[in-house]
């Protein structure tokens, strides 16, 4: 034998073709799972309602009806002389934000708090409700900066459905008080 022994020849182009073929299969598989319908968060169209209403009743009757309509909600501030009621955070599910894939729509976890203003005027008593609403999300989906935790509460618009429901509750209580038994 000579100093140079013959090495078995390896067909490098065969391995390269296999590697490229495997990469192509992986890319096709990944793109096959991709959906353009995936939206985080998705937004459902919800009718917008007024968050203010004037009742023909006096301030005291409207104030009492507002407190009664809030019922078991956690109230943290009550200032009758200023006509102001503030609730603590209330946990719930969103009326307008959802996550999902295709037709599946799962409402986002939210928290909200009401600020209720009650002011007498010439026509009776004006009640206006402001709802601060937030949804629980990750920094990537909300497009915010990562600051200590991946998940956080992000502000969002209210659907006004909850405020409308509270105004209707106040009205129902006032209507009961107006009607003689």
Closest CA to 116 of 47, 67, 159, 175: 67
Task: Record the tokens describing residue 109, joined without a space.
Answer: 């976890």
What is the model's pLDDT at position 32? 56
Percent of the chain with pLDDT over 90: 49
Are the beta carbons of 132 and 113 closer than 8 angstroms?
A: yes
According to CATH, the topology of domain 42-178 is Alpha-D-Glucose-1,6-Bisphosphate; Chain A, domain 4 (3.30.530)
C-alpha distances out from residue 51 to 69, 152, 155, 175, Å: 15, 27, 18, 19
Q: Tens digit of pLDDT for each residue in 102-152?
A: 677 888 899 999 999 999 999 999 999 999 999 988 877 767 777 777 888
Which letter, b or e, does each residue of 51-85 get, where b requires 16 or more Cβ atoms within 10 Å of its Cβ?
Answer: bebebebebebbbbbbbebbeeeeeeeeeeeebeb
| pLDDT, mean of residues 51-65 | 96
Say whether pLDDT at 13 is over 80: no
Task: Report which listed range, 7-11, 64-68, 100-104, 147-151, is most confident.
Answer: 64-68
Q: Tens digit of pLDDT for each residue in 21-48?
A: 777 666 766 555 544 444 456 666 667 8
Predicted model pTM? 0.72
CA distance 40 to 106: 11
pLDDT band at residue 175, thresholds of 50, 70 and 90? very high
CA distance 151 to 11: 52
What is the model's pLDDT at position 70? 97
What is the model's pLDDT at position 33? 54
Cis-peptide into 41, omega within 30 deg: yes
What is the model's pLDDT at position 166? 97
Closest CA to 74 of 114, 107, 34: 114
Closest CA to 178 of 51, 54, 53, 62: 62
Closest CA to 69 of 46, 85, 52: 85
What is the model's pLDDT at position 96? 85
Burial class (CB within 10 angstroms; exposed 0-12, middle 13-18, buried 19+) of 110: buried
What is the model's pLDDT at position 38? 42
Residue holding tokens 């009742």?
55
Say whether pLDDT at 65 is over 90: yes
């Amino acid at each position: 034998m000579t100093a140079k022994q013959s090495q078995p020849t390896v067909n490098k182009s065969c391995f390269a073709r296999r590697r490229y073929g495997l990469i192509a299969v992986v890319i096709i598989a990944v793109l096959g799972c991709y959906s353009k319908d995936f939206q985080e968060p998705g937004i459902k169209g919800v009718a917008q309602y007024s968050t203010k209403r004037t009742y023909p009743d006096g301030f005291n009757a409207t104030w009492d009806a507002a407190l009664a309509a809030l019922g078991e909600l956690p109230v943290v501030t009550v200032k009758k002389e200023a006509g102001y009621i503030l609730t603590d955070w209330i946990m719930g599910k969103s009326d307008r934000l959802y996550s999902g894939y295709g037709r599946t729509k799962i409402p986002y976890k939210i928290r909200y708090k009401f600020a209720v203003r009650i002011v007498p005027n010439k026509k009776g008593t004006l009640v206006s409700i402001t709802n601060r609403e937030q949804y629980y999300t990750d920094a990537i989906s909300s497009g915010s900066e990562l600051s200590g935790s991946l998940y956080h509460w992000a502000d969002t618009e209210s659907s006004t459905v909850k405020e409308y429901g509270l105004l209707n509750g106040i009205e129902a209580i006032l209507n009961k008080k107006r009607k003689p038994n």
